[in-house]
Amino acid sequence: MTENDPHAHDSAAGRQNPGAQPGTEGQAAWSQPTAPGASPAPAPASGEQPTYGEQAQQQNPGYATANPWSAQGAQTGPMGYNNPYPPTGGTTQQQYAAPGTYSVPPAPAPKKSGPGKLLAGVAAIALVIGGVAGGTVGYLTGGSSGPSVNALDQPKPAQQTGNAPSGSIESVAQKLSPSVVELQVSGRTAAGEGSGFVLSTDGYILTNNHVVEVAANGGQIQAVFQDGKKAAASVVGRDPTTDIAVVKVNNVSGLTPVELGRSDDLRVGQPVVAIGSPFELSGTVTSGIVSSLHRPVQAGGDETDQTTVMDAIQTDAAINPGNSGGPLANMNGQVIGINSAIYSPNSGQGGQGGASQGGNVGIGFAIPIDQARRTANDIIKTGHATQTFIGAKVADAPQGGAQLGDITPGSPAEKAGLKAGDIVTKIDDRTIDSADTLIAAVRTRAPDEKATFTLSDGRTVQVTLGGQPVPAN
């Protein structure tokens, strides 16, 4: 690992990161990518944990960790992605146990003595009496009723006419569905599918990095539109650190772009709609609410051993393998997030023996559209993304907060006067309770923004955030 590796572990880390794989102390550094070739980390023991469930693709050889959070299914390759649509030869799934995840104890067996017997008897008696009484009433009144009425004899109601009510799920589906595409992806070692949505009339499509990364170097991508038309696409650029990618569909025009909303004013409890292609069921619409905001979620890694940390929108809208890259929208039909990951406990047995595919349990995560918009704009204009950083390694502090490790000379952290050992507890008004929270809070901001860091000793330091290109790969 290089000194500036955004996810290199700090040896001074005080405690294990609950979001990291078992056996990994602290939090990876996050200011600059590590050179390829890092040794793969050993697979943790199986158990209940987040599973990487949305993209049906293999993780490229050389990745240091499999992604425990992605909601996109993939064929298991050397590093263990899940594939719900594998090629001939079977599937495997590698599972990782995460410390601090919750397990659900089995329900206790009902007691079979005492009042329980009495209550059961009473329930049975009530059921019998209700049945007899109902039958008797029906018999006594049957003889005096008029001609029988049969629903099958009734005429069909008038056909629905007019537009869907504004602000309804139906209206959101009508507005967005023409802009949502299924992405069928294949590479030398894996194949799968995911979702994306149209940004421009000439074919730019926004999706997740983990949806298309298998095709980034010599693979193939085919976009399938709502009307069934298909077109070849290619990767314009991708950012593994934010799990965002842009692809371009070739030789098309007149596509219907989505309307982008904003994610900085979302409220917990507001209704949202998700659209995508779960399990290749294109055009699937589900709905729910914003369950929480600013969830720091680790969602995978790439060839340089960078862990993706999202400052995610949590939703209970049903998201399943294949939804990755699809839009999460408000009730005005404006896209406010990119569906990217699910939490799916106890989804398999781990190892190389094969396991069941994780599915929706009502905890899904989306990348805020404000961050995705900025990254997509960088990719389209320059061919690569720009990552926001401060230039310091970081780990969980034992007493809470994020403890800084090595400071890169000349970095924003050094220029602001931050030192190794400083513990960050707040950025502006946001509480920092872990290394992941600090990473997510910084990455969701734009380069050159100013932020006030509050340290555990009460000092405040103003930091001008830096920006650096994410290496193309």
Catalytic residue among 5, 10, 239, 243: 243
What is the C-alpha to C-alpha distance for residues 213 and 246, in angstroms, rounded to an integer?
Answer: 11
What is the C-alpha to C-alpha distance for residues 53 and 34, in angstroms, rounded to an integer?
Answer: 26
Q: Is 9 a catalytic residue?
A: no
What Cα–Cα distance (Å) separates residue 45 from each residue in 18, 224, 332, 403? Answer: 15, 39, 44, 28
Q: What is the mean pLDDT of the chain?
A: 74
- 211-235 burial code (b ≥16 CB/10 A, e <16): bbbbbbeebebbbbbeeeeebebeb
**CA 40 from centre of chain:** 23
- What pLDDT does residue 357 have? 56
**For the chain (length 473 residues), average pLDDT per consecutive 10?**
40 38 38 44 43 39 40 39 40 37 39 43 40 45 70 90 89 96 91 94 95 89 93 92 92 93 96 95 95 86 56 95 96 96 63 49 94 94 90 93 94 94 95 93 92 95 92 62
Catalytic residue among 70, 282, 291, 324: 324
Nearest to 50 by CA among 322, 340, 281: 340
What is the C-alpha to C-alpha distance for residues 183 and 185, in angstroms, rounded to an integer?
Answer: 6
- What pLDDT does residue 310 have? 84
Contacts of 313 (CB under 8 A, 6+ apart): 263, 266, 290, 292, 293, 295, 328, 336, 337, 365, 366, 367, 368
Catalytic residue among 195, 210, 305, 370: 210
Ranges of beta strands (E only) in 142-229 are 180-186, 191-198, 204-207, 220-224
Q: What is the pTM of this model?
A: 0.67
Q: Is 294 a catalytic residue?
A: no
- What pLDDT does residue 267 have? 97
Token duo for residue 397: 């502090």
Q: Is 210 a catalytic residue?
A: yes
- What pLDDT does residue 40 have? 46
